[in-house]
Structure 1
């Protein structure tokens, strides 16, 4: 083994734990609750394993060119064992990251946490701004709408919700462009009234939930005592721009 190779292998468990502890302490100084910080770090760790699994599953199973059949078969078996092991590690890491909020049941639907709402905000705002140059809705109402949307999912689904939103926006981009051009900021439609949500980034989250879990969303909407007209107006705007 070369000296350069040895150098690359020096990031051991103690060093990783040191980096994690340092990050937790820095976040604590910035006012981030330790439980929230642990959850975020856990999701990053689970995501890194999931990406590694996806990468190896897509390219790592091919034996080097010119390999014999026996060598190739052994390569594929070994690659399969590694990728399956990574998949298991990623799943356990995700379960550990969200189990505390789920009461040790990562598929449960507990009360939506503050950090889950914050993650949804970080995901939905840039997506919305790819359709509109501005947004307008009371911050407190924004949190209530996102919480109602997230409450339709288990904690595992909430963890992967940014990916769901990104896929939804990509799949329906032409439709969303028509919707926001017709009813969003800059249109002739005023913010006040039934089309209020179209002026807010939360509209993307609500539309995705209307497509995926309409009954559950309406149940959580009523429980949060949000205006029914907002949901009805967004649904009408979506249908009329189809």
Structure 2
């Protein structure tokens, strides 16, 4: 393969940087804050590396050495391939840390920090289709959504928030039957009124709150109280879920 052929199969650093800069400019014209855009691009980059690491390193692991050149060659080839996979995992981790600590309020990926706008928007994008798989569109005030999601996200570190959409998806898949019954009995279309202790069952935020009730109830109660959200909402969801308050 000649140099021209190789150039058609990979991007050089300058071209990648150009594409990133162009995307940032286009997003800025659409009103997306540069810090938020950089964080989102960083997460996509980290995800691409993590995906490659998983695909290459998954069983049976790196492919065997090409040809038949003896055991010593095969062993050396295998060791080298494993070293490359391990380094790819390290690069994926570094990219994730850079992405989630790119803002001024997040100095550590594993320490609590204020919720950033991009984190809030990612949570909204994650919960809406999951909620709509069980119930109808919510009529609650969008400001309430931000307040509730803020309390939910403050129970997590920046690293955990980055992986929260996947955690939510796993939660709904694991408890699909339970959630179907809950929304049928308490959600839109049920005899339960939209205003009252079961109000949040009528909101997409209920998926996020239920996941936190199952995973970290104490932390959720603490952030709920700090945000001065109605205790009845959380009590109602706890009752509907069937967990102890």
- TM alignment of 1:74-153, pairs within 5 A: 74-101=76-103, 102-153=105-156
CA distance in 2, matches of 1:124, 1:48: 23
List alignment gaps of at least 5 residues for structure 1: none
Partner of 1:210: 213
1:93 Cα shift?
0.7
CA distance in 2, matches of 1:137, 1:189: 14
2:106–2:114 CA contact under 8 A, matched in 1: no
User: Which string of whole-angstrom CA distances, capped at 9 and with x for unpartnered residues, describes residues 121-146 of structure 1?
Assistant: 00000011111132232100001101
Tell me the secondary structure at the aligned position of residue 100 of structure 1.
Answer: coil
TM-score by length of 2: 0.92
1:149 Cα shift?
0.2
CA distance in 2, matches of 1:86, 1:164: 23
Partner of 1:55: 55
User: Which string of whole-angstrom CA distances, capped at 9 and with x for unpartnered residues, describes residues 136-185 of structure 1?
Assistant: 32100001101100000000000111011011011111111111111111
CA distance in 1, matches of 2:91, 2:47: 10
1:115 Cα shift?
1.2
User: Which string of whole-angstrom CA distances, capped at 9 and with x for unpartnered residues, describes residues 99-130 of structure 1?
Assistant: 13354212111111111110000000001111
List alignment gaps of at least 5 residues for structure 2: none
- 13-22 or 76-85, which deviates more: 76-85
How many residues are aligned here?
240
User: Which string of whole-angstrom CA distances, capped at 9 and with x for unpartnered residues, describes residues 44-76 of structure 1?
Assistant: 111111101000011542316875543432332
CA distance in 2, matches of 1:212, 1:77: 39
Tell me the secondary structure at the aligned position of residue 137 of structure 1.
Answer: coil
RMSD of Structure 2 on Structure 1 (CA): 1.8
User: Which string of whole-angstrom CA distances, capped at 9 and with x for unpartnered residues, describes residues 70-109 of structure 1?
Assistant: 3432332122111111111011111111113354212111
1:152–1:216 CA contact under 8 A, matched in 2: yes
Tell me the secondary structure at the aligned position of residue 162 of structure 1.
Answer: helix
1:211 Cα shift?
1.1
CA distance in 2, matches of 1:115, 1:2: 43
CA distance in 1, matches of 2:8, 2:152: 44
Partner of 2:241: 238
